Amino acid sequence: MTQRDLDILGHIIQYCEKTQSYLERCGNDQSLFMQDSMCQDACCMCIAQIGELSGLLSDELKDAHPELPWRAIKDTRNFYVHNYGSVNMEYVWNTLTEDLPVLKQTCCEILDNA
């Protein structure tokens, strides 16, 4: 694992933490999130950044951690960027509340074991 990988993982963790703080503004309430377009936009941008960063990770790191769906993470970024008007906010909510906590935890574990 390269220093670049370590730095990228750190940035991914930061974006995961940003989404957590944005959701806290909405009281971690899905109905409030669905009404707050600013929070939605901020969270979608973070998810897009995470996808972009994941594409910069070395194949060595991704191969060593197949428990994370690296391709799906990057594909989500591409979908958000190129189809923003048709992004389903229910899907975004699930990504924020189910997928990103796992991603953050796994990235933290990778860094802890580096």
pLDDT (tens digit, 9 = 90+) per residue, 15-44? 999 999 999 999 999 999 999 999 999 999
For the chain, how many residues are written? 114
For the chain, what is the radius of gyration of the CA atoms? 14
* Residue-number span of the structural domain to which 14 is assigned: 3-112
Whether pTM exceeds 0.75: yes
- Given a cut of 90, is residue 99 above it in pLDDT? yes
Q: Residue 94, Cα to own-chain centre: how many angstroms? A: 11
Of the candidates 92, 107, 1, 108, the one whose C-alpha atom is nearest the C-alpha of residue 46 is 92
CA gap 102, 12 in Å, rounded: 12
Number of folded domains in the chain?
1
- Asked if 62 contacts 100 with a C-beta cutoff of 8 angstroms, the reply is no
Q: Residue 102, Cα to own-chain centre: how many angstroms? A: 10
